[in-house]
Chain A
Amino acid sequence: MNFLDSIWLIPLFPLVGAAVMLLFGRRLANSVIRILCPGTIFVSFIFSVGAVMQLAGSEHKVHEVIKYLWMPPLHADWGFLLDPLSSVMILVVTGIGFLIHVYATGYMAHEGGFYRFFGYLNLFVFFMLTLVLANNYLLLFVGWEGVGLCSYLLIGFYYHKKSAGDAGKKAFIVNRIGDAAFIVGMLLIFSIAGSLRFTEVNEFIEAHHFAAETAAWGILSTTALMLFIGATGKSAQFPLYVWLPDAMEGPTPVSALIHAATMVTAGVYMVCRSHVLFELTPMTLQIVATIGGFTAIFAASIGLVQNDIKRVLAYSTVSQLGYMFLAAGVGAYWVAVFHLFTHAFFKALLFLGAGSVIHGMNGEQDMRHMGGLKKYMPVTHWTMFIATLAISGIPGLAGFFSKDEILAQVYGSAHGSKALYVVGLTTALMTSFYMWRLMYMTFYGTARSHVHAHESPLSMTGPLMVLAAGSALVGWLSVPKFFPIGAHTFEHWLEHVFGSEKGGAEIPEVLLTSLSVAAALLGIWIASRIYLKVWEGPLYKAMLNKWYVDEIYDFLFVNGLAKGGGEVLGAFDRNVINGGVDGAGWLARMVSSVSIWWDTWIVDGAVRATSFTVKLSGYPVRLLQTGHVQSYALVFIVGVLAMFGFYVLR
């Protein structure tokens, strides 16, 4: 069977699934749905694997299948493009998508609207596959908006929760802003290259030898910047990241699939897809790297003190996406995709694990009420343990290889800088801290609630185990150059798209690797010092200590400094006396408090400002639309005056 020419079928299977679910789902038994929906994704997965294998075997590493000339004047069609880049994406989408579907059959078993949930989920996969397989920007945009729409539907899945509805709405509207920029970018590309097909656009740009816009800001830079703004919306980068944490209102499998593994990486994919353009615009690349780096450290600092288990992961996702943009921004596209790939495994696993915990705790999401779950939920614990090791960057696991490579590239690439490297390294430290904080608060210590936690069913733990294996192993697809064993498959595979690496400055790889490992270990150590010590002690002391930390926070940022400088000194004293460990924790809290302050006042402020604007816009309307015919006529006359004035005064 020729899988290569059948790639157009890959998105079609989930679409059929979605259509069946949404049209007849109500009449189907749950047991049928349970087979059918993951089944369609699995078939897509098989086709994807087949197609990728054949692509690997073929001479030409680009395969285009055009099914229908959709809009000939725009050079946009229902056409699909399989190349090493999209092949990575379809494997992630179908593979991890399948596992999450299986997981969801267990997780959602007791929820109403089972069929609708799976209908939307399948629809999402359809749009996601359309997005990554599209051979032109327009079809990519169709998928782009489609996944946004499904995300909106799935976040708001809990209809009765108003916050869910609001979160969905917020996600949709914030994304519209990014989309507006994307459309402009797309139109600019068309006006430059006269086509929207990736291959033709790239050929055009290469054939016309555009000079890189190093000196002055030009049309290419604008185009690339517009595309990047579009990406910041979908991939939750600063300042458009605000929707992602709220999106956690949705069911956990949705968070895992959409808000961790697939949809949010669409922006990274799109930037990498347009790498030919970005290569020519160093200034835009600089912006990409800066925004990426800033988002990474910023989101990580907020993640330090979140108490909702899913929100920790949400901020962590934002932070990791920042890493990917950081990589793309320094021109290391393949590394960005590599991190995207490994991240999909361990982050999906973390979310699913968190879901399993929430499931086991009967819906509890606050980590302060967890603890000691290790013995009740062994599988969940061990799989999450692996994922946490992976994300922290412990050598041998997936996250280590990709993150290490990013840091090395940031350090060594022509576009990179030492400052960004320090940012990345600090983020790595923070990441390992908050992830281990999560682990300690959830699984270790003593139980802090009376819920009888139970392990989840096999349909949920099965995918966890598969993902854990992935999190442990996929990193070996591309190891650092000085590593004695391991492959460079991933890098070489993507060289067909991004070209081989140009020899940059000599990178002290061993040193860099040691540094990042040290950062990871330091984070774990601090977390264990603070949380393990505290939670393992008597409950009383734990409460006391927690209270004390919160008090500082309250004092510093809620009650205000003016209330008593002496207490600040006292608090500082206690911290200094209590040693560097607590001091580091305090510092972390401080950094994080600033970020939280930003989040509450500026971000929520923006949300409040929106509703304020809505109210405000009512006033001019009242002034204009009085209901009186003659004041309407007066408005006419003012309009006429304005137009005449234009002629008279000019």
Chain B
Amino acid sequence: MLDAVFFYTFALMTLTGAVLTITRKSAVHSAIWLIVSLLGVAGLYLLQQAEFLFAVQIVLYIGGIMVLFLFVIMLVNLDEAAKQRQFNNQRWIALGCAVIVGAEILYVLAKGTASLSLPAPAAAPAAGGNTEQIAVSLFRDYLLPFEAASLLLLAAIVGSVIMAKRRA
């Protein structure tokens, strides 16, 4: 019962945050509502025993990415940006399409979940907490993606420096 309460709370946070993110006029407000939404998602992670991701969501997403967003929003001229028209000409068509896409996904899901037979887990999960399991898995099975991700980050760092630095 308690988890249901938590679920509805976090779900409400997530959806409200998301709706307000895409409707608030000011970019700063949008960013703040996005943080609320991300917090809601983090809560949902926790509900599903993903403690590690919960932590990463808070530290990396909210603490890192969103701060970066806010930083950039501050950097560009905020006053001018707020005065601009916020929604483009195709907004009604766009909304309609987004609704239809959502409806279709929901429909397919609803139709599918009746017969949604997830495969049985291949092996019993190893003992230990979620973070420990992830650590084991990440550094054994997923060692290569982990290393490859470092190349990704390197490329991203170099790229953003090139874009941001002043021309020599």
Contacts and interface: CB of A to CB of B under 8 A. Distances in A.
Direct contact of A and B (CB under 8 A): yes
Contacts of B94: 630, 634, 637
A640 interface: yes
Tell me whether chain A's interface is mostly helix, strand or loop, or mixed: helix
B134 to A, nearest CB: 32
Nearest to A630: B88
Given A648-B107, A648-B108, A640 B90 contact: no
Interface string A621-650: 000000010110010011011001101100
Interface in B148-167: none
Nearest to B88: A630
Interface in A143-189: none
B1 interface: no
A645 B98 contact: no
B97 A634 contact: yes
Contacts, number: 28
A355 B97 CA distance: 67
B98 to A, nearest CB: 7
Given A630-B88, A630-B90, A631-B90, A638 B104 contact: no
A131 B105 CA distance: 57
Contacts of B107: 648
Interface in B53-100: 88, 90, 93-94, 97-98, 100
Contacts of A631: 90
Contact of B97 (A628, A637, A647, A648): A637
B101 interface: yes
Contacts of B105: 644
A631 to B, nearest CB: 6
Contact of A641 (B88, B90, B97): B97
Interface residues of A, number: 12
A631 B91 CA distance: 10
A495 B97 CA distance: 70
Given A630-B90, A634-B90, A644 B97 contact: no
B101 A637 contact: yes
A645 B105 CA distance: 10
B101 A647 contact: no
Interface string B85-128: 00010100110011011001101100000000000000000000
Contacts of B90: 630-631, 634
Given A630-B88, A630-B90, A637 B98 contact: yes
A641 to B, nearest CB: 6
B102 to A, nearest CB: 11
A641 B93 contact: no
Nearest to A640: B101
Contact of B108 (A637, A638, A641, A647): A647
Contacts of B98: 637
A598 B153 CA distance: 68
B84 to A, nearest CB: 15
Contacts of B93: 634
Contacts of A637: 94, 97-98, 101
Interface in A580-633: 628, 630-631
B48 to A, nearest CB: 27
A130 to B, nearest CB: 50
Nearest to B93: A634
Contacts of A634: 90, 93-94, 97
B108 A644 contact: yes
A645 B97 contact: no
A537 B90 CA distance: 78
A99 to B, nearest CB: 67
Nearest to B112: A647
Contacts of A645: 104
Nearest to B107: A648
Nearest to A626: B90
Nearest to B105: A644
Contacts of A640: 101
Given A630-B94, A634-B97, A637-B98, A644 B104 contact: yes
Nearest to A637: B97
A638 B88 contact: no
Contacts of A628: 88
Nearest to A647: B108
A637 B93 CA distance: 11
A641 B78 CA distance: 36
Contacts of B104: 641, 644-645, 648
Given A630-B94, A634-B94, A644 B88 contact: no
A648 B102 CA distance: 13
A163 to B, nearest CB: 46
A634 B88 CA distance: 12
Closest 4 CB pairs of A and B: A644-B104, A637-B97, A648-B104, A630-B88
27 contacts: A628-B88, A630-B88, A630-B90, A630-B94, A631-B90, A634-B90, A634-B93, A634-B94, A634-B97, A637-B94, A637-B97, A637-B98, A637-B101, A638-B97, A640-B101, A641-B97, A641-B100, A641-B101, A641-B104, A644-B104, A644-B105, A644-B108, A645-B104, A647-B108, A648-B104, A648-B107, A648-B108
Given A644-B108, A645-B104, A648-B104, 13 more contacts: A628-B88, A630-B90, A630-B94, A634-B90, A634-B94, A634-B97, A637-B98, A640-B101, A641-B97, A641-B101, A644-B101, A644-B104, A648-B107
